Structure 1
Amino acid sequence: MAGESYPHLKLDIIPLKLPYSATGGDDKRQDVPAVKNRRAHSRSLARDLDQIIAAKGRLHDKELPEEEAGVHLTAFARTAAGIQASGALMDVLSIKGEGKDQRVNLFIRSDRIDEAKKRLDRYADFEANADEKVRKPWSFPFFEAAERLAPTKLTDLWTDRIELFPKKSSSQAEWEVWVRADAANRVRGFAGRYGVFCELGQADFPSVSMIRVRASADDLQSFVDASSAVLELRACSSLTLLALNMKASAQRALADGLVSKISAPRAVAPAVCILDTGVMASHPLLAPALDAGDCLTLNDAWDKHGWDPHGTRVAGLVLYRDLERLIEKPRQTRLDVRLESVVVLRPPTGLRSSLESIGEVVAAVGLIEAGRARPRVFCLAFSDYRGLNDGVPTKLSGSVDQLAWGHNGVQRLFCVAAGNLSDDPLLVSGYSARNDASGIGSPGQALNALTVGGCTFIEEHPLGGQLLCPAGDISVTSRTSTSWTLRRRSIKPDLVFEAGNVGQVDGEDACESLAELNPLTTNASPRMLLGTLGETSAATGSVSGMAGRLMARYPDYWPETIRGLLIHSSDWTPAMVERGFGDNEEKKREHILSMFGWGAPDESMASDSASNRLTLVAQSSLVPFKEDGRSNALNECAYHPLPWPETALRGLGDTEVELRVTLSYFVQPDMRAPSARRHADYPSHRLHFDLKGPDDDDLDAARRQNRAFRGIRSASPPRRSEARWRLGSTLRERGTVHHDVWTGPASELARQNALRIAPRGGWWRDAPVYAGVPVRYALIVSLRTPESAQDIYQETRTRVAAIGSRLSIPLLEPYVIQPVPIST
């Protein structure tokens, strides 16, 4: 069920005072028709299991880690109702097909086989019981739904085109093996004993790692039999190299073939405005989304269609989330966003740098907005390295902050590059110390911008050589905020994305830059339509495209919300976690944040909820300050009850679940504050969130660290620990996006069903004119539970629809000043 996608739930309740009582799952699966003779069916399944065990030949390989020793098997569905897999007895690795064609790939540990046989016996005994209301034995739904069990074959795990499956079982071949993220290191530890040789590097995601291996099908089958780690298999490819080596005529034919399958964006689609060197509007892969009239320039002497290919290459990454995959598997595709372009970087003349005009961002925004009113994302895939690069706001970063805040009433989302190292030649030695020492350039320190750094998941050298960057780690030239003297004021970069890799020259301390080690994109040449782009320019283009697609998916979401969703979906890879440096956990995580921000985004998670992953989005506002004599004082907080599926969470007991909270807001900058060393007063205001504790009632949660509630009760609110938070308040409350992840027992989270948003100081505190002025914020909260028969999303949606616009919380009603306003 977790594979089904739903739109996020938007909450318009003011304030959110939602008691929630789940009544159980909304299971839409068909009932499995009863087996007529359960004793015979049990014997048949038991024979299948014995044959699988006998075929394996050994159950207790003492050299294997205990959690890897066991039997790999595939269950075939008996009816169109499919299979209800037993996660407690067997690990569900993957599921293929639907209905009667469904196959479930499983792994049962050696020490659970005897229990499986006992459960089969109890299942058979249920046949003699005439009263069907008697409680069914453990694993009954699985045995009832499974027609037969068989050894898992490689073709069961294969998810690529079947014609790509290696044809000779005894010949060496290259495979892309998808394994559980937590098992990647163990896999490398014992794969060689089965004749499976893992190449260096891997692509790490929160739940899966992809390892490239060389093995025969026979040896890989033995490896699969031995380990629960393998989830699926795919073919290895070098499509980028193939595309780049094509002749111009072949590239043109390839592009023309794609164009025939591409539909232009809708007229009302949001746009990504690329502020760069110009974009080639006639490019066949860009033309469906780019009108020539939307290509502008700040100076008529500059070629608005691209005096340099950089802007066109950025555009391809904005428009296509994976051009390489689209070329490999052409399909009918409607583009979700439009493109716009303003040339803001001047062509070099003499000794003048092309970065001379980057201060013209304000003019560029005004120019494009004067032409057409539409929702848009601004993409700035360049940086200015002049200055100290130490995090102090600059004119450019301050301009970005002000434009995002909306000094003319329009909030804007800017995606900006963290910037690149300029070392030439680039050496192998010193990676990643150079990244730590090189501060993010302007405007990457802008608090309101989404600052994008670079990582890489590219692990295939086109010539079979050694790559420098491990998969999932920092890209070789990506700048960080590790060296910032003001890094404690914000978290930058906000996130990281694919920025390419480099090779190592054998026997030398030198890096080899190869085009094939960068993402495939469009090129500004009528002859060669395809090219590549790397570094943080590529990462920023890709993330800008994600932001635009989210705007298309949710047209009523604010720019603050779109930024929040991308960060909310991000996570650290194991390679990123290994970069943590410091003498305690907090310092290690601070170092990770300074290199990677909150990690690499997952566009599917940012875009959709699922049956076991519920995301709630609230867009609201509060008035942070009230007049108090000659200055202002803090005014109000907003209390958000969370519509948890409480009964379901309590039913899960000590099962670990995950809560994610993201608070995103823009601030009005005060450019005077840095020069006056009042760095804390650069933002107009600050906000923070506080989750209700497991032992709190609503009044406890509202009065914690709140002097306005002094004397309401004699006892202090119960003490709470931040031990279950990944970051904790000290780290997360920096900048204008506060994101954290809580993990713990479901029964404990069920009691933490409310969240408070409260203000803190900024330069508005000393400006009476801002007393009573509301500020906007986006609150994103998601709950992730293990896959189960319960659909927490559907139940929550039904509950929210029935609630109305406001609920009362009796403990707090006497103290409510007014409803929390929602800005239009």
Structure 2
Amino acid sequence: MADTRLPLLRGRITTVDTYEAPQGGGGVPPAMPSLDPKAHRTTLLQQLDAITQQVKARAEIARDELAKREIVAVRPAPNAQLAPDQLDDSRADARLVGVMPDSGTVVLDVANADLEYLRKKLDAFADDAKVKTRTAKDGTVTTQRGNERAIAPVGSIGLAELEDLGGAQLRAEALPADGPCWFEIGCRGGYRNPAEDTNNSRAQIARQIHRLGASQKLDEFLGPEQLYFFVRLTRAQLDELRKATDCIYEVELAPQPLRDLKLLDDLSTKDVADFALEQPHENAPSVVVLDTGIATGHPLLKSAILTATTAGPEIPSPEDTYGHGTKMAGLALYRDVGAAVERGSADATHWLQSSRLLIAPGYGTAADENYEKWPVLTERAVRSAEDADPRPRNRAFVLAVTRSMQDPPLDGIAPTLWSQAVDQLAFRGGYGRLMIVSAGNARDAQWLALAEQHPQLQLSEKIHQPAQASNALTVGAFTARVELPNDKDYAEARVVATKPGGISPYTSTGLVGNEWPIKPDVVIEGGNLAIFGTLTDSTVPTLSALTTSHRHTHGSPIGLMSMTSEASARAARLAAHIWSLEPKLRPETVRGLIVHSASWTKAMVGDFPGLNDRLQACGYGVPSERLASECAQGVATIVVEDSMPNAVIEEEPKKTPPKRATTKTTERKVRRKVKLYRLPLPESLLSDADPDVELRVTLSYFTEPNKFGRRTYNGLDLKWDMQGPQESADAFIQRINALKRPTGADGKRLKIEKAKSFDWDVGIERRSRGTVQSDRWRGKMSALVGDKLIAIVPVLGWWDQRKALKWQDMKFSLVVSVFGPGVYAAIKSKVEVEATIPVEV
């Protein structure tokens, strides 16, 4: 049979231009406190002198032999906001650590306790000869003192205390006076910093823990700019540890114990010993299941198992003795396990890899006392799968082991080291890795209550960590399974989700607030729940999925699975399917295509008429396998893969020409870039009927995370915007790029009349919160034709504060689909031609 599939179209960025954000990058600067400059200088100098005296008065044996530096806290004055970029100095080896979110305190890591560079800033601030006066056209006179932004907002300066470095939970929690607690401490080091920093911190912490008599195996996690340890100490011991070392940047309570996973009972079925599974080709993609291992001898799986490894020596074997991983593997390999069993054979289109992350919930590495290992174990599980198969291969990693964030003290706290680990793994040094994480299941103790108010009460069940990771493809669950078996045993039962296409009663939902990305990203089939009076049953065959069981050697090769584990396994299979058809796509593109292809069902729109509630419960909706992997006669999907620099250096003419002919006429300037794609939609598509069309645009990228003070900061963010139906190309460019706006006689940019983009379903503010940003519009063909521009612009993050990283590039993928009569034929030739034209710079 001939292959009738129409492959995805591959486009290219049309134009690259210099860019400046219209808002100037930061809005109105914070107001400076009104104070006496000389008195302010005197007060702060006394505090700097006190730091020097404290350090000199320290006994020689008070600190670790490797502790040579100081951690300093610069605290803001009341109602003032510090300028952290003004408080460090690379020449003086004074490093900015970060800003504590709740207090606004700036933490510095300094080599010299005298802080001579700050003393010079204080002198300049108090020097009346260095005051600059400006008079505006309206006669308003403003003055600015030397180093005013750095010094005026400072309330106090001192050696950092535990209160300065402690997170919100540590400050809020009433800890036992002498009882040990698990703490998470962030130290100098990280993979972005010299290895000696990491080794120095590791040696200090290990030695001082031993000195305190609290010897324990130190589990650690390596972030980009910090090394994290999990330690069990009393509060007094923790403060002693801080005083004895010079490397502790932040301290917080470690999260609460891992909640148990609830799994379904196995279901026996026919013997499949003679099942024939044809192997995939050697370069086929793989799904890597990070779970309880895999039954390597299972007849429905063994021919497709490429590797089976463990996350580390704590786990004795890759064999699944619990069952969850084997059930995940069956759904990750097969679209329909039952149909394959009936046929007695199947052709595998992709490989399976298993990396055993835990033996069983609550046991071994998953035990409460080992929670601190989860970020490290997840990273090791990923790397062990890659090391076992060194061939370059497209891999979709799927993690359905999650942990509730609704048990105190994690209620409302989103970023954790586990979520940062997932974000780092996905970023992969800029190369990208597809990490698929289940949103987590609703708490089983709440099932009856949820059943009575389904689906609205589902909004109270919040996603689990690490599913809040921005770079992850987070998968929730919906269900089309609403029929109970026609059996007298179920005569008194009822299903919770009664409408096909509604969200599953098992699923958890996104976090509330403007700072969080849209999560879950998508929802996939995850089954339904049955209620018998006051009893719940999650094992009803018609409400669950048939899958493989680890008990195949005991005569039970088939079992049941549902919940968000099923949904995430199916998402991994979808990713592998896309790669099997389009093997050259980047990981961020595959994630983008899955989100791009998603739509809300009628039940979702009816159950959640409010957009915010619908996004929290359903994300972007249910993905379409066909739309995610191919075009059709009435659908054209264009994929653009490119990269964005954080900043570039450009030579620009000097404002004032030099007087000497030998002097350079140009100067070096730091500039940003905007990248534009011109969607080729010709006027020939217009007809008297002016047909209805749909437009979808999705931007996907993996950003580098950096956690500090219980917040995760991104190295660089991006966002997109599109030329509106009534907007000219020049007006659009001026709207998004301040450098392109006209200037008056005085050289200042003039105000412009702003047009608007399309009337999007989600809107730019909501969609721009995450690293996959998708939106849809429906209207008439006449509003869309005319080769509209789509802009991708940088939103600066922590890379911009690090000189060594300021020039980093980050990959991104843009996916655009147009639905309408004749669009594929009209767009295809134009896209292919434009892909050969040099990019306009």
User: Given the two structures, how large is their TM-score scaled by the length of structure 1?
Assistant: 0.63
Pair 1:797-2:828 in alignment = yes
Residue identity matched to 1:11: G
SS of the equivalent of 1:682 reads strand
Q: Deviations over 1:527-563 (max 9, x none)?
A: 1111111111110011011111212221111110000
Give the corresponding residue for 1:666.
Answer: 702
Matches within 5 A, 1:430-441: 430-441=453-464
Residue identity matched to 2:484: H
Give the corresponding residue for 2:620.
Answer: 598
Pair 1:491-2:518 in alignment = yes
Q: 1:479 aligns with which of 476, 489, 508?
A: 508
Q: Deviations over 1:314-371 (max 9, x none)?
A: 000000112234445x397432210111111144449935974533111112222222
Give the corresponding residue for 2:131.
Answer: none
Pair 1:341-2:357 in alignment = no
Q: 2:468 aligns with which of 418, 421, 445?
A: 445
Pair 1:646-2:683 in alignment = yes
Residue identity matched to 1:369: E
C-alpha displacement of 1:718: 5.9
Give the count of matched residue pairs: 552
For residues 494 and 540 of structure 2, the distance between their equivalents in structure 1, rounded to whole angstroms, comes to 15
Conservation of the 8 A alpha-carbon contact between 1:633 and 1:765: no
Residue identity matched to 1:538: E
For residues 340 and 540 of structure 2, the distance between their equivalents in structure 1, rounded to whole angstroms, comes to 19
Pair 1:609-2:625 in alignment = no
Give the corresponding residue for 1:558.
Answer: 586
Conservation of the 8 A alpha-carbon contact between 2:506 and 2:529: no
Q: 1:513 aligns with which of 528, 538, 544?
A: 538
For residues 425 and 639 of structure 1, the distance between their equivalents in structure 2, rounded to whole angstroms, comes to 49
Residue identity matched to 2:401: F
Q: RMSD of the TM alignment (CA)?
A: 3.0
For residues 800 and 421 of structure 1, the distance between their equivalents in structure 2, rounded to whole angstroms, comes to 45
Conservation of the 8 A alpha-carbon contact between 1:345 and 1:354: no
For residues 401 and 698 of structure 1, the distance between their equivalents in structure 2, rounded to whole angstroms, comes to 36
Q: Deviations over 1:586-620 (max 9, x none)?
A: xx111110111101111111111101100000001
Q: Deviations over 1:774-794 (max 9, x none)?
A: 2111000000014xxx4x324
Matches within 5 A, 1:56-67: none
Give the corresponding residue for 1:271.
Answer: 286
Alignment CA distance shift 1:349-1:687 (3 Å): closer
Alignment CA distance shift 1:370-1:748 (3 Å): same
C-alpha displacement of 1:519: 1.1
Conservation of the 8 A alpha-carbon contact between 2:293 and 2:308: no
SS of the equivalent of 1:637 reads strand
Pair 1:501-2:519 in alignment = no
For residues 267 and 440 of structure 2, the distance between their equivalents in structure 1, rounded to whole angstroms, comes to 29
For residues 643 and 367 of structure 2, the distance between their equivalents in structure 1, rounded to whole angstroms, comes to 46
Matches within 5 A, 1:16-95: none
Residue identity matched to 2:775: D
Alignment CA distance shift 1:319-1:632 (3 Å): farther
Alignment CA distance shift 1:611-1:297 (3 Å): same
For residues 385 and 426 of structure 1, the distance between their equivalents in structure 2, rounded to whole angstroms, comes to 15
Alignment CA distance shift 1:432-1:797 (3 Å): closer
C-alpha displacement of 1:487: 5.3
Q: Deviations over 1:415-438 (max 9, x none)?
A: 001111223373132433542122
Give the corresponding residue for 1:711.
Answer: 742
Q: 1:298 aligns with which of 312, 320, 323?
A: 312
Q: 2:571 aligns with which of 543, 548, 553?
A: 543
Alignment CA distance shift 1:695-1:297 (3 Å): closer
C-alpha displacement of 1:647: 1.0
SS of the equivalent of 1:658 reads strand
Residue identity matched to 2:547: T
Residue identity matched to 1:520: L
Give the corresponding residue for 1:399.
Answer: 421
Give the corresponding residue for 2:441.
Answer: 420
SS of the equivalent of 1:605 reads helix
For residues 739 and 594 of structure 1, the distance between their equivalents in structure 2, rounded to whole angstroms, comes to 15
For residues 458 and 515 of structure 2, the distance between their equivalents in structure 1, rounded to whole angstroms, comes to 18
For residues 390 and 417 of structure 1, the distance between their equivalents in structure 2, rounded to whole angstroms, comes to 19
Alignment CA distance shift 1:762-1:804 (3 Å): closer
C-alpha displacement of 1:389: 5.0
For residues 468 and 514 of structure 2, the distance between their equivalents in structure 1, rounded to whole angstroms, comes to 9
Conservation of the 8 A alpha-carbon contact between 2:321 and 2:550: no
Give the corresponding residue for 2:374.
Answer: 358
For residues 294 and 370 of structure 2, the distance between their equivalents in structure 1, rounded to whole angstroms, comes to 17
SS of the equivalent of 1:726 reads coil
SS of the equivalent of 1:544 reads helix
Alignment CA distance shift 1:777-1:652 (3 Å): farther
For residues 4 and 683 of structure 2, the distance between their equivalents in structure 1, rounded to whole angstroms, comes to 22
For residues 532 and 362 of structure 1, the distance between their equivalents in structure 2, rounded to whole angstroms, comes to 29
Give the corresponding residue for 2:168.
Answer: none
Q: 1:635 aligns with which of 657, 672, 675?
A: 672
Alignment CA distance shift 1:9-1:285 (3 Å): same
Alignment CA distance shift 1:784-1:804 (3 Å): closer
Pair 1:682-2:682 in alignment = no
SS of the equivalent of 2:774 reads strand
Residue identity matched to 1:371: A
SS of the equivalent of 1:5 reads coil
C-alpha displacement of 1:288: 1.7
For residues 349 and 775 of structure 1, the distance between their equivalents in structure 2, rounded to whole angstroms, comes to 40
Pair 1:318-2:332 in alignment = yes
SS of the equivalent of 1:800 reads helix
For residues 766 and 721 of structure 1, the distance between their equivalents in structure 2, rounded to whole angstroms, comes to 32
Give the corresponding residue for 2:729.
Answer: 698
SS of the equivalent of 1:424 reads helix
For residues 776 and 316 of structure 1, the distance between their equivalents in structure 2, rounded to whole angstroms, comes to 33
Alignment CA distance shift 1:271-1:245 (3 Å): closer
Unaligned runs of 5+ in 2: 18-264, 651-667
C-alpha displacement of 1:402: 0.8
Alignment CA distance shift 1:280-1:785 (3 Å): same
For residues 297 and 284 of structure 1, the distance between their equivalents in structure 2, rounded to whole angstroms, comes to 25
SS of the equivalent of 1:567 reads helix
For residues 594 and 7 of structure 2, the distance between their equivalents in structure 1, rounded to whole angstroms, comes to 15
For residues 263 and 717 of structure 1, the distance between their equivalents in structure 2, rounded to whole angstroms, comes to 63
Give the corresponding residue for 1:764.
Answer: 799
C-alpha displacement of 1:665: 0.7
Conservation of the 8 A alpha-carbon contact between 1:13 and 1:805: no
C-alpha displacement of 1:246: 5.9
For residues 724 and 652 of structure 1, the distance between their equivalents in structure 2, rounded to whole angstroms, comes to 23
Give the corresponding residue for 1:280.
Answer: 295
Conservation of the 8 A alpha-carbon contact between 2:742 and 2:750: no
Pair 1:309-2:323 in alignment = yes
Conservation of the 8 A alpha-carbon contact between 2:514 and 2:766: no
Give the corresponding residue for 1:523.
Answer: 549
Pair 1:589-2:617 in alignment = no
Q: Deviations over 1:666-725 (max 9, x none)?
A: 1111111x43xxx5x711122111111223333222221321112169987664345631
Give the corresponding residue for 1:390.
Answer: 412
For residues 730 and 521 of structure 1, the distance between their equivalents in structure 2, rounded to whole angstroms, comes to 41
Identity %: 30
C-alpha displacement of 1:15: 4.0
Residue identity matched to 1:686: D
Alignment CA distance shift 1:297-1:625 (3 Å): closer
